[in-house]
Amino acid sequence: MALQRFDPPGFVDDFGAAQRDAWHQFISDAMDFAHDGTVGDPFDSPRAQFFNAAKVESASDTGFEDVKWTAFPRIVQISSGSDVERWRNSDASRDVQDEYCEWSVTRQSGTNKITRVTFTCEGPEYWRFLAATDPEKTLALYKQHVEASVTHGDLFSPSGTYIPRNRFNNSTANGAMHLVQRNNTLSAEIEIAGAATITRLRPDGTPMVDSLELIQCGRYGAAQRHSDPFIGARVNFHARNKADVTVANPVGIYFGGLDTQEWETPDGSDPAGFWKYTRGTPQRPVRAVLEVPSDRGYVLGDVLIDGHNIQFGGQIADRIQMTIRALATRIGQSTATPVHGCAGDSAGPAGGAGAGGPLSVSAVLSAGGRRGRL
Amino acid sequence: MGLGQDPFNPTRTHPLSPTAAGLDFPSSGAEANLSSLRARVVGIDPDGGRPMTDQDRASLGDPFFDLVLARERFPRTATELIAVLNESNGAPEGVPEQMVFVVAEAGQIPFNNSSAMLPRGVRYVVTRGRPANGPTVLISTRPPADDPTAFLQVAGWDGRNKVFHFYERAGSAWLWEGSSLHAFDPAARGKGPFDSHVNGTLVMKELRLPWLHWNSTAQEIPIESFPPNHPLRTDPLFAARESADILERRVVRPAIQRWTRARLDRQLGDPDGVAAPRELLRHLLATTSINIVTSEERSRGSKPTFGLPATFFFDVESIVNQLGLEISGLGQSFQVGRPDYESAVAALGLALKHLASGFKQDGDASFAWLVPERALEDCVVVGELTRRGILSFGFALALLMVDAWNPIDSAARASLLNYVPAGRTQAARIEAETRKNINNAAAHLPPEAPESIAATYLALDESALRARAGAELDAFVAKVRARLMTSQGVLDFMRLADWRRRAFRKRRIAEFDLSLPFSNINENAPPLALTKDGEVVER
């Protein structure tokens, strides 16, 4: 039996019934879109081994793989010469936090010590839709998770349009409610998974297996990140194994955990207890806060990692794992033939967006003028 | 071949010699009831080992001993060992969390006619631990994991005694080969497991991004690297392989930190003083071990310029990351043009070679500019010693600035070890005694002598030293950058890289031909060094 409904990321419970239906439809459309690929490009369409789990049943051999990567942005890492340089660079702007994890740092006035770091991996599509369909809920969540003083005017334009990069979600200092880095989208996640299901052959007839050659040939994601090439490589591995592949429900990016080994606290307590998931389920967390309880007499900046005081959110991001869950089924049964060529080798018309319904996430997002395939 | 010798990994094993030991260990089958645990610390115990005493057994507090050997279980393979550990998964002392990592020097070389006979050199690292506590049992073997002829080694963290214990299976016997402390015992140093675990902790040579040779997010070891019908293709351990970034962050770095702290607690806490101060300052002045690192860019990429590893040029890890000296814009400092790089690769005839099989693949490794760098385990000791106030920032930086342009194997810096007290010294006096000795020696030596250079730096107060070191390193970086913009400069640096690779091959930690590319330069060509002006010269 096919999946009844795509749930919101992390099974968060912000939606009413109509919103849930619309969200399901949005993800379902995105799945269909990712399956179709770039219509007209024989090297990128269709993606026969990618499937919409709400329309195609999974088989009894279904297996899951949690694809994991480090939250610290690789692009910052390879362009920085020392630890402090890369930590500082990663804390400089949300625009460089491109591993589907963004953070904001709160500091103590006077000492400038870090007191709290908030991490999010919630896609912007979800929030734009929520804000468009339930502004009051959106405001309440900002008040709950970011800052109690947030007002409607902080989040919405005079015409009532949600501002994703509002002043409580556009920096590394004033809060992080959801992802805003331009490549950190759920749509990107689904598109990468879809595009990576095409098995490709080199000119000599051997299969492409390397993450870099796959992402360059498939033209999905950003090759310099930890996440995109690796997600693609793992999905493609299952595709080469002649499985049908999709992203498991609920589609989203998740925290895979924080490693606090060799952290030192002034009172010897276990810093793992300072790490709290504040949205999503414990198994599928989408928001996390690291903060020392107020009764301890010290703050996060007094905690040491490898002997260094925590001075940057990037030091923590070094220790965070991100994950998405891939689903493979009908293993060994696919009859899709490998492709001799790369996406874009044959120029063709771009695909269109899915149709809307009574309440449509795509329509809502399009109304906001967002560029993209969904 | 001795008992426990792995025919596919002879350098990995420290086999028993039954004849020499007068022992008769079974390797399989009916004699398996002779399984046992023996002590064999190479260099101290007889070649065939010796029976474990009650005192020996009482000193073992790691989960591998507690959950396996102490229960009279003597698994012959990794598969059996994992099964034994699984029996305790529900117990409070169990280590249920398992991760698998895979390394293979030839694991990223495509399988085809020319590489069909190439041994892939696959090894597994299987870690076991309790969630949130990190791994405490580390199993090293090769596939297939149920092969009783495969080497099988275990490192277990003993939380009670704060040491790693090292074990190895030989035939159906298990050998306790010592603890981290034996790494510093003159009789055992560099022998047995301590030929690679030089400082008594875990080793991951390719520790940093892109973790060359390891299965990782940067580059997988694809199943297609292996022949059709190869048993690895259906091996559940291989299928469960994780990325090496997890091994780095969750296993090896914490282990190095943990052991370093435990070691320093022990050595510095001795009320009679530090028994061997030179053992500590070797980490500052010498090169006790090596990591290997590459550029983060592919050797056959299309990017017109890319960065070389900064640690190739100076000790960024100790000077910048551990001591905190700020060098601005370091990240973009060591860019090389791809045409110059490719010309240098061609001029030196770089190639990956496996001498026994005759395999040769022209060019650099898959990631560019593979070179040895100072081992993290040395740098972490430097950081810990300064944070604990045993060494001042100024003292550590002053000595690191001597011949700073040669971050590894600097004879000039190593010569300063002679001025570190040789005998037992109170921890608080180590720096002062060394300072005094260096200054006294410098008074009678020419200004270019390492002692004189060190004395010049030591004479500065911290602020002045910080400024001078920063300025000198900035100037050095600028000169290197200028030379990297010329074909000749790149070729010279490539020759230096090759010299360092040749020197690495002489270390016992270098086990595999394919670890590093070979060149057309004679293995016995004169050693090279880098000067303060960014010039490559014969030593």
CA torsion, points A262, A264, A269, A274, in degrees to nearest 10?
-80
Q: Categorize the per-residue pLDDT at B113 as very low, low, confident or very high, splitting at 50, 70 and 90.
A: confident
Q: What pLDDT shows up at residue B506?
A: 87
User: Which residue out of B216, B220, B311 would a mutagenesis test of the A interface target, given it has the greatest number of A Cβ atoms within 10 Å?
Assistant: B220
The per-residue DSSP string of A242-276 comes to: T-EEEEPSSPS-EEEEE--TTEE-TT---GGGGEE
How many whole angstroms separate alpha carbon B465 and alpha carbon B450? Answer: 17
User: Taking residues B9-22, what's their average pLDDT?
Assistant: 55
Q: What pLDDT shows up at residue A374?
A: 38
Measured between beta carbons, the chain A residues lying within 8 angstroms of B245 are: 69-70, 226
The per-residue DSSP string of B161-215 comes to: TTEEEEEEEETTEEEEEEEGGGGG-TTTTTSGGGGTSTTSS---SS-STT-TTB-
Q: What pLDDT shows up at residue B33?
A: 40
How many whole angstroms separate alpha carbon B444 and alpha carbon B461? Answer: 23
pLDDT at A372 over 70: no
Q: What pLDDT shows up at residue B30?
A: 39
pLDDT in tens, B225-267: 998 888 888 899 999 999 999 999 999 999 999 999 999 999 9
More confident of the two residues A99 and B108? A99
How far CA B271 is from CA of A307, B161, B268, in Å, comes to 24, 19, 8
Give the gyration radius of chain B's Cα atoms.
Answer: 24
Q: What pLDDT shows up at residue A362?
A: 74
For B317, other C-beta atoms within 10 Å of its C-beta total 25
User: Taking residues A316-339, what's their average pLDDT?
Assistant: 97
Measured between beta carbons, the chain A residues lying within 8 angstroms of B218 are: 211, 226
User: Taking residues B365-383, what's their average pLDDT?
Assistant: 97
Distance from CA of B317 to the nearest CA of A (A): 8
User: Taking residues A34-59, what's their average pLDDT?
Assistant: 96
Q: Categorize the per-residue pLDDT at B188 as very low, low, confident or very high, splitting at 50, 70 and 90.
A: very high
Q: What pLDDT shows up at residue A369?
A: 39
Phi-psi region of B377 (alpha: psi -120 to 50; beta: other; left: phi over 0): alpha
Would you call the peptide bond into A9 cis, given omega within 30 degrees of 0 as the criterion? Answer: no
How far CA B223 is from CA of A241, B56, B102, B108, B426, in Å, comes to 10, 43, 12, 10, 55
Contact B417, B402 (CB under 8 A): no
The per-residue DSSP string of A55-116 comes to: TS---TT-EEEEEEEESS-HHHHHT-SSHHHHHHHHHH-GGG--SS-EEEEEE-TTT--EEE
- Alpha helix stretches (DSSP H) within chain A: 17-36, 74-78, 83-92, 124-133, 135-145, 152-155, 186-195, 211-218, 227-240, 313-317, 361-367
pLDDT at B492 over 60: yes
**Segment among A28-32, A324-328, B192-196, B507-511 with least mean pLDDT:** B507-511
User: Taking residues B71-98, what's their average pLDDT?
Assistant: 97
**Segment among A26-35, A148-157, B74-83, B222-231 with least mean pLDDT:** B222-231
pLDDT in tens, B280-300: 999 999 999 999 999 999 999
Q: The tokens 């501002």 sit on which residue?
A: A163
pLDDT at B331 over 80: yes
The per-residue DSSP string of A41-64 comes to: -TTT---TTB--TTTS---TT-EE
Q: Which of residues 382-441 of B touch A (CB under 8 A)?
A: 383-384, 387
A82 vs B321, B383, B384: nearest CB: B321
Quick one: which H or E segment has residue B352? Answer: strand B351-354
Distance from CA of A56 to the nearest CA of B (A): 26
Quick one: which H or E segment has residue B538? Answer: strand B536-538
Q: The tokens 């030593």 sit on which residue?
A: B539
Positive/negative CA dihedral, B143, B149, B150, B155? positive
pLDDT at A359 over 60: yes
Q: What pLDDT shows up at residue B228?
A: 85
Q: What pLDDT shows up at residue B2?
A: 57
How many whole angstroms separate alpha carbon A247 and alpha carbon B16? Answer: 51
pLDDT at B391 over 90: yes
Contacts of B229 (CB under 8 A, 6+ apart): none
pLDDT at A356 over 50: no
Contacts of B356 (CB under 8 A, 6+ apart): B119, B513
Chain A contact for B227 (CB, 8 A cutoff): no
Q: What pLDDT shows up at residue B508?
A: 76
Share of chain A above pLDDT 90, in %: 91
pLDDT at B65 over 90: yes
User: Taking residues B68-72, what's their average pLDDT?
Assistant: 96
Contacts of B220 (CB under 8 A, 6+ apart): A209, A210, A211, A233, A237, B108
How many whole angstroms separate alpha carbon B67 and alpha carbon B61? Answer: 10
Contact A338, A37 (CB under 8 A): no
Mean of the per-residue pLDDT values of chain B: 92
Report the Cα A75 to chain-centroid distance in Å.
16
Q: What pLDDT shows up at residue A364?
A: 67
Q: Hey, are the CB atoms on A321 and B222 less than 8 Å from each other?
A: no
User: Taking residues A327-337, what's their average pLDDT?
Assistant: 97
pLDDT at A132 over 50: yes
Q: The tokens 């007889």 sit on which residue?
A: B46
Measured between beta carbons, the chain A residues lying within 8 angstroms of B307 are: 78-79
Q: What pLDDT shows up at residue A37?
A: 95
How many whole angstroms separate alpha carbon A205 and alpha carbon A216? Answer: 18
Least Cα distance to B159 among B301, B55, B269, B60 occurs for B60
Range A33-38, long-range pairs (CB < 8 A, 24+ positions): A33/A190, A33/A191, A33/A194, A33/A351, A33/A353, A33/A354, A33/A373, A33/A374, A34/A190, A34/A191, A34/A193, A34/A194, A34/A195, A35/A194, A36/A351, A37/A194, A37/A195, A37/A198, A37/A351, A38/A343, A38/A344, A38/A348, A38/A350, A38/A351
Least Cα distance to A225 among A322, A312, A127, A313 occurs for A322
Contacts of B262 (CB under 8 A, 6+ apart): B162, B163, B180
- Nearest residue in chain B measured CA to CA from A315: B249
Q: Categorize the per-residue pLDDT at B48 as very low, low, confident or very high, splitting at 50, 70 and 90.
A: confident
How many residue contacts between A and B have a Cβ separation below 8 Å? 106
Measured between beta carbons, the chain B residues lying within 8 angstroms of A209 are: 110, 220, 222-225
Which SS3 state, helix, strand or coil, does residue A288 take? strand
Q: What pLDDT shows up at residue B7?
A: 65
Positive/negative CA dihedral, B440, B444, B447, B448? negative
How many whole angstroms separate alpha carbon B273 and alpha carbon A73? Answer: 45
Q: What pLDDT shows up at residue B125?
A: 98
Q: What pLDDT shows up at residue A232?
A: 98
B331 vs A85, A210, A233: nearest CB: A85
Distance from CA of A357 to the nearest CA of B (A): 40
Q: What pLDDT shows up at residue A196?
A: 98
More confident of the two residues B524 and A330? A330
pLDDT at A367 over 80: no
Q: Hey, are the CB atoms on A68 and B246 less than 8 Å from each other?
A: yes
Q: What pLDDT shows up at residue B5?
A: 64
Terminal-residue alpha carbon distance, chain A: 27
User: Taking residues A131-144, what's their average pLDDT?
Assistant: 98
Mean pLDDT comparison of A160-164, A347-351, B221-225, highest-scoring range:
A160-164
How far CA A167 is from CA of A103, A291, B224, in Å, comes to 14, 22, 49
pLDDT at A290 over 90: yes
Q: Categorize the per-residue pLDDT at A292 as very low, low, confident or very high, splitting at 50, 70 and 90.
A: very high
Measured between beta carbons, the chain B residues lying within 8 angstroms of A68 are: 242-243, 246
Which SS3 state, helix, strand or coil, does residue B266 take? helix
User: Taking residues B387-415, what's their average pLDDT?
Assistant: 97
pLDDT at A121 over 60: yes
Share of chain A above pLDDT 70, in %: 94
**Burial letters for B400-435: b for 16+ Cβ neighbours within 10 Å, e otherwise?**
bbbbbbbbbbbebbbbbbebbbeeebbbeebbeebb
Mean of the per-residue pLDDT values of chain A: 93
pLDDT in tens, A61-101: 999 999 999 999 999 999 998 999 999 999 999 999 999 99
Q: What pLDDT shows up at residue B328?
A: 81
**Segment among A4-13, B1-10, B286-295 with least mean pLDDT:** B1-10
How many whole angstroms separate alpha carbon B58 and alpha carbon B157? Answer: 15
